[in-house]
Amino acid sequence: MNSPITPESILLDARSKELRRIIVQTLGAGKRGHVGAAFSVIEILRVLYDDVLRLDPRNPLWPDRDRFILSKGHGCLALYALLADKGFFPKEELSKFCASDGILGGHPEYGKVPGVEASTGSLGHGFSFGVGFALAAKLDGKNHRVFVVLGDGECSEGTIWEAALSACKHKLDNLTILVDYNKQQTYGTIEEVQGLEPFADKWATFGFSVREVNGHDTGELLSVLGSAPFEPGRPNAIICHTVKGKGVSFTEKNLAWHHKSKVTDAEVGALMSELES
């Protein structure tokens, strides 16, 4: 990249704040959840669901739909906000997050949540699902596309790189992976725990066509997603530079908000007050 990407610089617009408020309401209902991951990935999902994915919420299994997999399943609060917003299930379900009579758990489940293509939560599975979906589409001469969102911490899993080899071997240009590169994981920073740099070079060396974007800049995300496939015969990798916990002063880059349990009403109130438009 010619200029440094500064996801910290992005000011959230009304829709980004609204989606975060839905996330917080859901969090408050379940009194737990991965807040940091949901706040870092929400603009990526927003652009996908608002402007990119070809879906029919009334017919979630429409055969020609684009396939989307949230491989970092712990970011599901963001996914649920978008799926509810699009009408895949009634918004009332959000108030039953993690409840015994609800369909929305702490990780998304295939067969239970309309619009969820694969059960994720254990890291390193979603990318291989994406390879299988994209390969089947090629075999069947279908032109739908496959999008997979990976976590940066997730990229320590060996299966990510097995899937990367496979995607390139099969020339899956109908497959796009987006990495939510917020540079933090549970214990600390990515670089301190295992390290991924030079990250873009790794994907390029495997054979991906790579782009780097500001993962909170919806215009930039839309522009780059709109130009995929970047090169015929190559799978697409978009490294989305983000801020963990983006949008609330005390959750940004704060490891304590990676996963929060026993969330109090006061915490929900504090989150909401920062997200008022």
Partner 1 sequence: MRKTSLDMVYELAKRDPRVVFIGSDLGPDTLTNLKSEFPRQFFMEGVSEANIVTMAAAMAMEGKIPYINTIATFLSRRCFEQIVLDLGLHNTKVRLIASGGGMVYAPLGPTHLATDDIAILRTVPNMTIIAPADADEMRRLMLQTVDIEGPIYIRLGKGGDPIVSRDDLACTIGKAIPMREGKDALLITTGVCLQVTLAAAEALAAKGIQACVLHLHTIKPIDKEAILYRAKTANVIVTIEEHTVIGGLGSAVAELLAEADLDQPKRFRRIGIPDVFPDQYGSQASLLARYGITPEKVVETVAELSGNP
Q: Between 136 and 256, whose beta carbon lies closer to partner 1? A: 136
Tell which residue, 145, 200, 147, 157, has the closest CA to residue 177: 147
Using the minimum distance from each CB to partner 1, give the nearer residue, 30 or 124.
124
Number of other residues whose CB lies within 10 A of the CB of residue 206: 16
Least distance CB 107 / partner 1 (angstroms)? 11
Q: Which of 50, 162, 252, 274 binds partner 1 (CB under 8 A)?
A: 162
Whole-angstrom distance, CA of residue 109 vs CA of residue 84? 15
Buried b (16+ CB within 10 A) or exposed e, 87-114: ebbeeebbeebeeeebbbbbbbbeeebb
Q: Which of 40, 119, 218, 236 binds partner 1 (CB under 8 A)?
A: 119
The count of residues interacting with partner 1 (CB under 8 A) is: 26
Q: Which stretch binds partner 1 (CB under 8 A): 16-24, 96-104, 159-167, 231-239?
A: 159-167
Q: In the chain, which ranges are continuous DSSP H helix?
A: 14-30, 35-47, 76-86, 126-139, 158-169, 190-193, 199-206, 218-226, 265-274
| Residue 148 structure tokens | 């997979």
**Distance of closest approach, residue 162 Cβ to partner 1, in angstroms:** 4
| Cβ-based nearer residue to partner 1, 150 or 271 | 150
User: Which 58-117 residues touch partner 1, going by CB under 8 A?
Assistant: 110-111, 117
Give Cβ neighbours of residue 54 (< 8 Å, ≥ 6 apart): 64, 65, 66, 144, 145
For residue 130, state whether it binds partner 1 (rule: CB under 8 A): yes
Could you give the 3-state DSSP secondary structure of residue 181? strand
The residue within the footprint of partner 1, chosen from 49, 129, 203, 208 (CB under 8 A), is 129
Where on the chain is the footprint of partner 1 (CB under 8 A)? 110-111, 117-119, 122, 124-125, 128-133, 135-137, 139-140, 158-159, 162-163, 165-166, 169
